[in-house]
């Protein structure tokens, strides 16, 4: 159990367009989902924490108007990269926890490779 899917697995888009990435928990309800990104040779960096039905909490330096997060249901969170630019090219990966223990494992999706031309 505890499978998280992510779609698409890769996307190429033109500069200025918006891209939506979906993260779904397939066999459990996730009240909290997380979005990370990873630049080449760097570690996974938390972008935002998303709770179902409420606004996401963004990490310092992450523009909330550029990276729109919607967590409309207990099994789905979406990340929309608005007006994407080449510097947004990165690997984006989501995770989810099962409530309620705070030390509970985060279950990850397989990630999305975004390339902005």
Partner 1 sequence: ILNVEQSPQSLHVQEGDSTNFTCSFPSSNFYALHWYRWETAKSPEALFVMTLNGDEKKKGRISATLNTKEGYSYLYIKGSQPEDSATYLCAFQTGANNLFFGTGTRLTVIP
User: Which residue ranges make up the site for partner 1 (CB under 8 A)?
Assistant: 4, 9, 32, 34, 36, 41-46, 49, 93, 97, 102-111
Which residues, other chains included, contact 106 with Cβ-Cβ below 8 Å and sequence gap of 6+?
Answer: 34, 95, 96, 97
Closer residue to partner 1 in complex, CB, 43/54: 43
CB of 41 to partner 1, least distance (A): 7
DSSP 3-state of 86: helix
Closer residue to partner 1 in complex, CB, 17/29: 29
Determine phi and psi for 88, rounding to 5 degrees.
-85, -5
Closer residue to partner 1 in complex, CB, 36/67: 36
Q: How far is it, in rounded angstroms, from Cα 37 to Cα 64?
A: 14
CB of 54 to partner 1, least distance (A): 15
């Amino acid at each position: 159990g505890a499978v998280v899917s992510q779609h698409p697995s890769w996307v190429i888009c033109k500069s200025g367009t918006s891209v939506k990435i979906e993260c779904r928990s397939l066999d459990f309800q996730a009240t909290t989902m997380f979005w990370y990104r990873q630049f080449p040779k760097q570690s996974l960096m938390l972008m935002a924490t998303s709770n179902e039905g409420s606004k996401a909490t963004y990490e310092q330096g992450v523009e909330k108007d550029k990276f729109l997060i919607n967590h409309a249901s207990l099994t789905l969170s979406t990340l929309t990269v608005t007006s994407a630019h080449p510097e947004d090219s990165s690997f984006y990966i989501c995770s989810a926890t099962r409530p309620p223990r705070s030390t509970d494992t985060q279950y990850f999706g397989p990630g999305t490779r975004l390339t902005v031309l």
